[in-house]
Structure 1
Amino acid sequence: MDQNKVKDLIDEALALNESLYLVDLDISTNNKIQITVDGDNGVPLSECIRISRNVENSLDREEEDFSLEVSTPDISHPLKLKRQYIKNINRILKVKTAEQEFEGTLIAANDVDIVLQWKAREPKPIGKGKVTVEKTVTLNFKDIKEAKVKIVF
Protein backbone atom coordinates (compact mmCIF):
# COMPACT_ATOMS: atom_id res chain seq x y z
CA MET A 1 0.00 0.00 0.00
CA ASP A 2 1.39 3.38 -1.00
CA GLN A 3 1.52 5.56 2.13
CA ASN A 4 1.90 8.77 0.11
CA LYS A 5 -1.28 8.02 -1.86
CA VAL A 6 -3.23 7.36 1.35
CA LYS A 7 -1.81 10.55 2.92
CA ASP A 8 -2.89 12.57 -0.14
CA LEU A 9 -6.43 11.13 0.13
CA ILE A 10 -6.58 12.02 3.82
CA ASP A 11 -5.32 15.56 3.13
CA GLU A 12 -7.98 15.91 0.44
CA ALA A 13 -10.70 14.90 2.91
CA LEU A 14 -9.31 17.13 5.68
CA ALA A 15 -9.23 20.13 3.33
CA LEU A 16 -13.04 20.20 3.47
CA ASN A 17 -12.94 20.95 7.21
CA GLU A 18 -10.10 23.28 8.31
CA SER A 19 -10.62 22.49 12.00
CA LEU A 20 -9.54 18.85 11.49
CA TYR A 21 -5.95 17.62 11.27
CA LEU A 22 -4.07 14.35 10.91
CA VAL A 23 -2.42 13.10 14.09
CA ASP A 24 -1.14 9.73 12.91
CA LEU A 25 -1.18 7.43 9.90
CA ASP A 26 -0.03 3.84 10.21
CA ILE A 27 -0.09 1.20 7.49
CA SER A 28 0.90 -2.26 8.69
CA THR A 29 2.54 -4.92 6.54
CA ASN A 30 -0.83 -6.67 6.06
CA ASN A 31 -2.37 -3.39 4.76
CA LYS A 32 -4.26 -2.39 7.88
CA ILE A 33 -4.63 1.38 7.53
CA GLN A 34 -5.09 3.23 10.84
CA ILE A 35 -5.83 6.93 10.60
CA THR A 36 -6.03 9.13 13.69
CA VAL A 37 -7.57 12.59 13.24
CA ASP A 38 -8.27 15.32 15.76
CA GLY A 39 -10.06 18.64 15.59
CA ASP A 40 -9.82 22.02 17.24
CA ASN A 41 -13.40 21.52 18.45
CA GLY A 42 -13.48 17.73 18.60
CA VAL A 43 -14.33 15.33 15.79
CA PRO A 44 -17.92 14.27 15.14
CA LEU A 45 -18.51 10.68 14.07
CA SER A 46 -19.87 11.95 10.75
CA GLU A 47 -16.43 13.41 9.94
CA CYS A 48 -14.67 10.09 10.67
CA ILE A 49 -17.15 8.38 8.34
CA ARG A 50 -16.62 11.03 5.64
CA ILE A 51 -12.83 10.67 5.80
CA SER A 52 -13.10 6.88 5.78
CA ARG A 53 -15.35 6.91 2.70
CA ASN A 54 -13.09 9.36 0.88
CA VAL A 55 -10.08 7.09 1.39
CA GLU A 56 -11.91 3.81 0.83
CA ASN A 57 -13.68 4.90 -2.36
CA SER A 58 -10.41 6.07 -3.89
CA LEU A 59 -8.51 2.83 -3.28
CA ASP A 60 -9.06 -0.31 -5.32
CA ARG A 61 -9.63 -3.49 -3.29
CA GLU A 62 -9.17 -5.54 -6.46
CA GLU A 63 -5.65 -4.17 -6.79
CA GLU A 64 -4.70 -4.49 -3.12
CA ASP A 65 -6.83 -5.72 -0.19
CA PHE A 66 -6.84 -3.54 2.93
CA SER A 67 -8.68 -2.77 6.14
CA LEU A 68 -9.36 0.81 7.18
CA GLU A 69 -9.91 2.41 10.57
CA VAL A 70 -10.45 6.14 11.17
CA SER A 71 -10.52 7.23 14.80
CA THR A 72 -9.78 10.08 17.17
CA PRO A 73 -6.87 10.09 19.63
CA ASP A 74 -7.28 7.94 22.71
CA ILE A 75 -7.28 10.07 25.87
CA SER A 76 -4.66 7.76 27.42
CA HIS A 77 -2.17 8.44 24.60
CA PRO A 78 0.33 11.31 24.80
CA LEU A 79 -0.17 14.52 22.86
CA LYS A 80 1.80 14.48 19.60
CA LEU A 81 1.18 17.78 17.84
CA LYS A 82 1.48 21.40 18.94
CA ARG A 83 -2.09 21.92 17.73
CA GLN A 84 -3.26 19.36 20.32
CA TYR A 85 -1.68 21.43 23.09
CA ILE A 86 -3.53 24.54 21.93
CA LYS A 87 -6.78 22.55 21.92
CA ASN A 88 -6.16 21.50 25.53
CA ILE A 89 -5.53 24.94 27.05
CA ASN A 90 -7.17 25.16 30.52
CA ARG A 91 -6.89 21.40 31.04
CA ILE A 92 -4.57 19.67 33.48
CA LEU A 93 -1.54 18.05 31.87
CA LYS A 94 1.07 15.63 33.18
CA VAL A 95 4.31 16.54 31.43
CA LYS A 96 7.56 14.58 31.58
CA THR A 97 10.91 16.04 30.67
CA ALA A 98 14.29 14.32 30.87
CA GLU A 99 14.87 15.80 34.33
CA GLN A 100 11.47 15.89 36.05
CA GLU A 101 7.67 15.70 35.88
CA PHE A 102 5.17 18.53 36.10
CA GLU A 103 1.43 18.50 36.63
CA GLY A 104 -0.51 21.67 36.15
CA THR A 105 -3.06 23.58 34.14
CA LEU A 106 -1.96 24.39 30.62
CA ILE A 107 -2.45 28.14 30.43
CA ALA A 108 -0.64 28.91 27.17
CA ALA A 109 0.82 27.15 24.13
CA ASN A 110 2.49 28.46 21.00
CA ASP A 111 4.85 27.14 18.30
CA VAL A 112 7.84 27.06 20.67
CA ASP A 113 6.70 26.22 24.20
CA ILE A 114 3.90 25.67 26.72
CA VAL A 115 3.17 27.27 30.09
CA LEU A 116 1.88 25.22 33.04
CA GLN A 117 0.52 26.67 36.27
CA TRP A 118 -0.28 24.99 39.60
CA LYS A 119 -0.58 25.70 43.33
CA ALA A 120 1.90 24.32 45.85
CA ARG A 121 2.30 24.45 49.63
CA GLU A 122 5.66 25.81 50.77
CA PRO A 123 7.10 26.75 54.15
CA LYS A 124 6.53 30.38 55.15
CA PRO A 125 9.57 32.59 54.66
CA ILE A 126 9.30 33.72 58.29
CA GLY A 127 7.76 31.70 61.09
CA LYS A 128 6.15 28.30 61.20
CA GLY A 129 3.54 26.83 58.89
CA LYS A 130 3.02 26.75 55.18
CA VAL A 131 1.63 29.09 52.59
CA THR A 132 0.01 28.33 49.22
CA VAL A 133 1.90 29.77 46.27
CA GLU A 134 1.23 29.73 42.55
CA LYS A 135 3.97 28.15 40.46
CA THR A 136 4.48 28.58 36.75
CA VAL A 137 6.87 26.83 34.39
CA THR A 138 7.56 27.37 30.70
CA LEU A 139 8.63 24.23 28.85
CA ASN A 140 10.10 24.14 25.36
CA PHE A 141 8.56 21.50 23.07
CA LYS A 142 12.00 19.99 22.40
CA ASP A 143 12.38 19.28 26.15
CA ILE A 144 9.02 17.50 26.50
CA LYS A 145 9.35 13.71 26.44
CA GLU A 146 5.64 13.02 27.03
CA ALA A 147 2.51 15.00 27.84
CA LYS A 148 -0.89 13.57 28.68
CA VAL A 149 -4.20 15.16 29.57
CA LYS A 150 -5.21 14.24 33.11
CA ILE A 151 -8.78 13.07 33.47
CA VAL A 152 -10.55 14.66 36.43
CA PHE A 153 -13.91 13.34 37.59
Structure 2
Amino acid sequence: MISKEAILEIVTPLLEKENLFLVDVSVGADNKIIVTVDGDKGVSIDSCVSISRGIENPLDRDREDFELEVTSAGLGQPLKIPRQYIKNIGQELDVVLKTGEKIKGVLNSADNTGFVLGVSKKVNIPGSKKKQEVVEPIQLTYQQVKSAKVVLKFK
Protein backbone atom coordinates (compact mmCIF):
# COMPACT_ATOMS: atom_id res chain seq x y z
CA MET A 1 0.00 0.00 0.00
CA ILE A 2 1.20 3.49 -0.84
CA SER A 3 1.69 5.59 2.30
CA LYS A 4 0.37 9.08 2.94
CA GLU A 5 3.91 10.09 3.93
CA ALA A 6 5.25 9.01 0.52
CA ILE A 7 2.63 11.16 -1.22
CA LEU A 8 3.43 14.13 1.04
CA GLU A 9 7.12 13.80 0.21
CA ILE A 10 6.35 13.85 -3.52
CA VAL A 11 3.67 16.56 -3.52
CA THR A 12 5.31 19.20 -1.29
CA PRO A 13 7.89 20.46 -3.83
CA LEU A 14 5.28 20.30 -6.62
CA LEU A 15 2.96 22.59 -4.67
CA GLU A 16 5.74 25.09 -4.01
CA LYS A 17 6.49 25.18 -7.74
CA GLU A 18 2.81 25.86 -8.54
CA ASN A 19 2.46 28.41 -5.68
CA LEU A 20 -0.27 26.31 -4.05
CA PHE A 21 -0.77 24.72 -0.64
CA LEU A 22 -1.95 21.32 0.55
CA VAL A 23 -5.37 21.03 2.17
CA ASP A 24 -5.61 17.26 2.54
CA VAL A 25 -4.19 13.91 1.41
CA SER A 26 -6.00 10.63 1.85
CA VAL A 27 -4.97 7.14 0.80
CA GLY A 28 -7.71 4.51 0.94
CA ALA A 29 -7.28 0.79 1.52
CA ASP A 30 -7.85 0.27 -2.21
CA ASN A 31 -4.93 2.65 -2.98
CA LYS A 32 -7.24 5.47 -4.02
CA ILE A 33 -5.17 8.61 -3.48
CA ILE A 34 -7.00 11.93 -3.15
CA VAL A 35 -4.91 15.11 -2.97
CA THR A 36 -6.81 18.34 -2.27
CA VAL A 37 -4.98 21.60 -2.96
CA ASP A 38 -5.76 25.30 -2.78
CA GLY A 39 -4.08 28.57 -3.65
CA ASP A 40 -4.28 32.17 -2.57
CA LYS A 41 -5.46 33.01 -6.10
CA GLY A 42 -7.35 29.78 -6.78
CA VAL A 43 -6.28 26.61 -8.58
CA SER A 44 -6.23 26.11 -12.34
CA ILE A 45 -6.95 22.84 -14.11
CA ASP A 46 -3.45 23.02 -15.58
CA SER A 47 -1.99 23.12 -12.06
CA CYS A 48 -4.02 20.05 -11.04
CA VAL A 49 -2.82 18.19 -14.15
CA SER A 50 0.80 19.18 -13.50
CA ILE A 51 0.63 18.04 -9.86
CA SER A 52 -1.09 14.79 -10.86
CA ARG A 53 1.65 13.99 -13.38
CA GLY A 54 4.31 14.96 -10.85
CA ILE A 55 2.87 12.51 -8.31
CA GLU A 56 2.27 9.73 -10.82
CA ASN A 57 5.77 9.74 -12.37
CA PRO A 58 7.74 8.53 -9.31
CA LEU A 59 5.12 5.89 -8.43
CA ASP A 60 5.38 2.50 -10.16
CA ARG A 61 2.01 1.22 -11.41
CA ASP A 62 3.57 -2.13 -12.35
CA ARG A 63 4.61 -2.71 -8.74
CA GLU A 64 1.48 -1.33 -7.12
CA ASP A 65 -1.72 -0.20 -8.85
CA PHE A 66 -3.41 2.98 -7.63
CA GLU A 67 -6.06 5.54 -8.50
CA LEU A 68 -5.05 9.20 -8.25
CA GLU A 69 -7.30 12.23 -7.95
CA VAL A 70 -5.91 15.76 -7.60
CA THR A 71 -8.61 18.31 -6.90
CA SER A 72 -9.00 21.87 -5.70
CA ALA A 73 -10.80 22.71 -2.48
CA GLY A 74 -14.29 23.30 -3.85
CA LEU A 75 -16.73 26.10 -3.21
CA GLY A 76 -19.01 25.24 -0.35
CA GLN A 77 -16.52 22.77 1.13
CA PRO A 78 -15.56 23.27 4.78
CA LEU A 79 -12.34 25.14 5.51
CA LYS A 80 -9.80 22.66 6.90
CA ILE A 81 -6.51 24.46 7.50
CA PRO A 82 -5.51 27.91 8.83
CA ARG A 83 -4.21 29.06 5.44
CA GLN A 84 -7.70 28.68 3.98
CA TYR A 85 -9.07 30.97 6.68
CA ILE A 86 -6.33 33.52 5.95
CA LYS A 87 -7.15 33.33 2.23
CA ASN A 88 -10.82 34.07 2.97
CA ILE A 89 -10.43 37.14 5.22
CA GLY A 90 -13.27 39.52 4.40
CA GLN A 91 -15.66 36.72 3.40
CA GLU A 92 -18.80 35.76 5.29
CA LEU A 93 -18.60 32.38 7.06
CA ASP A 94 -21.12 29.94 8.49
CA VAL A 95 -19.41 28.38 11.52
CA VAL A 96 -20.67 25.43 13.56
CA LEU A 97 -18.94 25.00 16.90
CA LYS A 98 -18.34 21.62 18.54
CA THR A 99 -20.95 22.67 21.12
CA GLY A 100 -23.53 22.80 18.31
CA GLU A 101 -23.79 26.61 18.34
CA LYS A 102 -24.04 28.20 14.88
CA ILE A 103 -22.44 31.57 14.16
CA LYS A 104 -22.56 33.62 10.97
CA GLY A 105 -20.18 36.52 10.52
CA VAL A 106 -17.49 38.18 8.46
CA LEU A 107 -13.98 36.77 8.85
CA ASN A 108 -11.99 39.76 10.14
CA SER A 109 -8.63 38.12 10.80
CA ALA A 110 -6.97 34.71 11.05
CA ASP A 111 -3.63 33.21 12.04
CA ASN A 112 -2.27 29.75 12.82
CA THR A 113 -4.12 29.46 16.15
CA GLY A 114 -7.56 30.91 15.45
CA PHE A 115 -9.66 33.62 13.86
CA VAL A 116 -11.97 36.56 14.59
CA LEU A 117 -15.50 36.78 13.22
CA GLY A 118 -17.39 40.06 13.08
CA VAL A 119 -20.95 39.11 14.06
CA SER A 120 -23.80 41.59 13.49
CA LYS A 121 -26.30 41.97 16.32
CA LYS A 122 -29.22 44.33 16.87
CA VAL A 123 -29.05 45.96 20.29
CA ASN A 124 -31.05 48.56 22.18
CA ILE A 125 -29.15 51.83 22.42
CA PRO A 126 -30.21 54.03 25.37
CA GLY A 127 -32.16 57.04 24.12
CA SER A 128 -32.99 55.40 20.78
CA LYS A 129 -36.36 53.88 19.87
CA LYS A 130 -34.93 51.57 17.23
CA LYS A 131 -32.49 48.75 17.70
CA GLN A 132 -29.20 49.45 16.01
CA GLU A 133 -26.92 46.98 14.32
CA VAL A 134 -23.57 46.53 16.03
CA VAL A 135 -20.72 44.31 14.87
CA GLU A 136 -19.27 42.32 17.74
CA PRO A 137 -15.89 40.59 17.28
CA ILE A 138 -15.82 36.95 18.39
CA GLN A 139 -12.44 35.25 18.88
CA LEU A 140 -12.41 31.50 18.12
CA THR A 141 -9.73 28.81 18.06
CA TYR A 142 -9.71 26.10 15.40
CA GLN A 143 -10.18 23.50 18.16
CA GLN A 144 -13.61 25.01 18.96
CA VAL A 145 -14.82 24.64 15.36
CA LYS A 146 -16.66 21.62 14.01
CA SER A 147 -17.03 23.14 10.52
CA ALA A 148 -16.71 26.49 8.77
CA LYS A 149 -17.87 27.27 5.25
CA VAL A 150 -17.67 30.38 3.11
CA VAL A 151 -21.17 31.72 2.39
CA LEU A 152 -21.67 31.77 -1.37
CA LYS A 153 -23.27 34.96 -2.68
CA PHE A 154 -24.72 35.25 -6.14
CA LYS A 155 -25.22 38.67 -7.68
- If the length of structure 1 is used for normalisation, what is the TM-score? 0.90
Superposed displacement of residue 29, structure 1: 1.4
CA offsets per residue over residues 39-91 of structure 1, 9 Å max, x none? 12111111111100011111111111111110011223211100000000010
Aligned to 2:94: 94
Q: Could you tell me which amino acid in structure 2 is paired with residue 2 of structure 1?
A: I
Match of 1:60 in 2: 60
Matched, 1:7 2:8: yes
Percent identity, aligned pairs only, is 38
Let me know the Cα RMSD of the aligned residues: 1.6
2:94 aligned partner, one-letter code? K
Q: SS of 2:6's equivalent?
A: helix
Alignment partner of 1:147 is 2:148: yes
1:129 aligns with 2:124: no
> Which digits, 9 at most, give the CA deviation of each residue in 1:85-139, with x for residues without a partner?
0000010001122342211110111122211113222233346432222222111
Q: Which runs of 5+ in 1 are unaligned?
A: none
Equivalent residues, number: 152
Q: Which runs of 5+ in 2 are unaligned?
A: none
- Summarize the Cα distance change of 1:89–1:62 in structure 2 as closer, same or farther, 3 Å threshold: same
Query: Residues 121 and 26 (structure 1 numbering): CA distance in 2 closer, same or farther, change over 3 Å?
Result: same
Task: Return the TM-score normalized by structure 2.
Answer: 0.89
CA change 1:127–1:56 in 2 (3 A) is closer
